Amino acid sequence: MRASITPEKKLHTGQSVWMRMSGQRVPARRLTASIKADVVVVGAGVSGAFMAEALTRRFGNVVVLDRREPASGATSASTAMLQFEIDEPLTALADKIGARQANAAWRRSYRATQALQALVRAEGLRCGLQERSSLYLAGNEMGARALKDEAAARRRIGLPGAFIDANRLKAEFGIARTGAILSDGSAIANPVQLAAGLLRLAAKRGARICSPVNVNDVMAAPYGVVLSTDGCFIEARHAVFCTGYEALKGLPTKGTKITSSWAIASRPGIAYPGWLNRTLVWEASTPYLYLRTTPDGRIVAGGEDEDIDLPSYRARSLQRKARRIAAKLKRLHPDFAFTPAYAWSGAFGESDDGLPIIDAVPGKPNCYAVMGFGGNGTIYSKIAAEIVPTLISGRPDKDAGLYRFR
């Protein structure tokens, strides 16, 4: 087995709905000689793509490395529900980390969600971005009373979200639950097209994207960082490890875990209620069900998460999990019933507080780690792309403390 600074995992199995769509090409090259850079980004998934785009606004010499083709790891297994709502409800997060910190985390997530949409539109990135409302249904974790309190807590800090009761929920959405929170400000996208578009934008500004490249060692000192690969070296002032669920070896893991998740998608053009094209749906349950549509008229749904990180188990369970997700959809609303045309599974990262890791690497000067744990991974990637370049430039970010190693 070749040496590597991160474990090599099979991050997904099955057939993702995104992988055969157009708009995925990225101008990657092989690394054939040692090079220098201002900043090197390890990882060319959605986290690395946001990071590369942000860094090329500030630095003239950015290099992106990945052992795979760009955007072909965990990003290709994402369902890309771009929500400001954190997996950990605001009221629950306040109990865990305090109200001030929880409020700051939720506000930052909301701002990042809006900034992500603004960036995609300003740069003309073609990734199926569409605005959505979010419908958060009562479930086995939060009932109507808890959702009322949650909606009130959000309103107090200036975030959108209104509680709707069972009668309105049934009348407007045809869903029989005790209540829900309906909020504006979310979106959907094709995650592979989004990552590829950001990488192409970074390359247009001069970033060098090198793939496949295996990084087998990192030497960090106060004056800079040297990465060794199979035959070449990259000398940089700073390194950012956006390696997702293949975390840099030796990092603290307190409060985090890698689990498994499953997803399905319909064929295009199936029948479903028109409101679903304006609304993301998820539930306050464990495990929770979630669903969205795509611009070409598919339903994409997922869930059935389990606390196990074993590729063989994900593969063995794929058809069983696909049937369970499909059955849950039908029970939720009869018009959501369909036979899956695509089914896939992937590794998924979670943290005790639902927040990511965006922090300096302990013991390695000038190195930073980004791990977008939780269901808001794409939004957390955008937050990381705001925080890390600021820290590299020697300026503080008032929210950086929210995302440190626990």
CATH number of 155's domain: 3.30.9.10
Cβ-contact 84, 109 below 8 angstroms: yes
Residue 266 and residue 329 in one domain: yes
How far, in Å, CA of 47 to CA of 91, rounded? Answer: 28
Number of Cβ within a 10 Å radius of residue 204: 11
Q: Work out the average pLDDT over 202-209.
A: 97
Q: Residue 110: inside a domain, yes or no?
A: no
Q: How many domains does the chain have?
A: 2
Q: Residue 124: inside a domain, yes or no?
A: no
Residue 373's pLDDT band (boundaries 50, 70, 90)?
A: confident
Residue 233 and residue 196 in one domain: yes
On the question of pLDDT at 264 being above 60, the answer is yes
Cβ-contact 133, 81 below 8 angstroms: no
Cβ-contact 349, 244 below 8 angstroms: yes
Residue 283 and residue 335 in one domain: yes
CATH number of 381's domain: 3.50.50.60
Q: Can you give the pLDDT at residue 272?
A: 97
Q: Which residue in 195, 260, 167 sits closest to 48, CA to CA? A: 195
Last residue of a domain, one of 315, 331, 351: 351
Cβ-contact 70, 98 below 8 angstroms: no
- Asked, as a colleague might, if the bond just before 287 is cis with ω within 30 of 0, I would say yes
Q: Residue 84: inside a domain, yes or no?
A: no
Q: Which residue in 198, 361, 181, 250 sits closest to 7, CA to CA? A: 250
The length of the chain is 406
Residue 197 and residue 181 in one domain: no
Residue 256 phi, psi (nearest 5): -130, 155
How far, in Å, CA of 373 to CA of 364, rounded? Answer: 22
Number of Cβ within a 10 Å radius of residue 13: 22
Q: Residue 152: inside a domain, yes or no?
A: yes
How far, in Å, CA of 76 to CA of 213, rounded? Answer: 19
Range of 164's domain?
132-186+257-351
Average pLDDT taken over every residue of the chain: 95
Q: Can you give the pLDDT at residue 129?
A: 97
Residue 374 and residue 247 in one domain: yes
Q: Is the dihedral of CA 300, 304, 307, 309 positive or negative?
A: negative
Residue 391 and residue 338 in one domain: no
If you write DSSP's letter for every residue of 233-284 in order, what string do you get? EEEEEEEEE--TTSPPTT---TTEEEEEEEEEEPPTT----GGGGGEEEEES
Q: Residue 55: inside a domain, yes or no?
A: yes
Cβ-contact 71, 25 below 8 angstroms: no
Residue 208 and residue 346 in one domain: no
Residue 268 and residue 245 in one domain: no
Residue 248 and residue 233 in one domain: yes
How far, in Å, CA of 316 to CA of 75, rounded? Answer: 21
Residue 219 and residue 364 in one domain: yes
Residue 326 and residue 268 in one domain: yes
On the question of pLDDT at 215 being above 80, the answer is yes
How far, in Å, CA of 71 to CA of 54, rounded? Answer: 17
Q: Residue 94: inside a domain, yes or no?
A: no
Q: Work out the average pLDDT over 128-142.
A: 97
Identity of residue 282: W
Residue 374's pLDDT band (boundaries 50, 70, 90)?
A: confident
How far, in Å, CA of 61 to CA of 251, rounded? Answer: 27
The percent of the chain in helix, strand and coil, each rounded to the nearest 5, is: 30, 25, 40
Q: Can you give the pLDDT at residue 1?
A: 52
Q: Residue 36: inside a domain, yes or no?
A: yes
Model pLDDT for residues 289-324, shown as the tens digit of each residue: 999 999 999 999 999 999 999 999 999 999 999 999
Q: Residue 368: inside a domain, yes or no?
A: yes
Residue 286 and residue 344 in one domain: yes
Q: Work out the average pLDDT over 11-24.
A: 87
Identity of residue 169: L
On the question of pLDDT at 19 being above 90, the answer is no
On the question of pLDDT at 2 being above 80, the answer is no
Model pLDDT for residues 50-103, shown as the tens digit of each residue: 999 999 999 999 999 999 999 999 999 999 999 999 999 999 999 999 999 999
Q: Work out the average pLDDT over 363-387.
A: 94
Q: Can you give the pLDDT at residue 87?
A: 93
